[in-house]
């Protein structure tokens, strides 16, 4: 959902998909979700 790849020593495989089966509304909802996730992620990882 985030588009970020975080791997650890326990990571076995990573599956990427382009969501070609999603309709326009689902693509837009996913884009907004990723944007919100990025905003929250950046806020949580802000180093002061």
Q: Quick one: pLDDT at residue 2? A: 62
Say what the pTM is. 0.56
Contact 2, 34 (CB under 8 A): yes
User: Higher-confidence residue: 15 or 42?
Assistant: 42
Domain coordinates in residue numbering, the chain: 18-48
Q: What is the DSSP letter of 20?
A: T
- What is the tens place of the pLDDT at every residue in 19-43? 788 899 999 998 999 899 888 888 8
């Amino acid at each position: 959902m985030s588009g970020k790849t975080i791997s650890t020593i326990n990571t076995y495989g990573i599956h990427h998909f382009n969501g070609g089966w999603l309709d326009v509304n689902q693509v837009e909802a996913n884009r907004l979700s990723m944007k919100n996730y990025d905003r929250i992620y950046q806020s949580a990882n802000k180093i002061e």
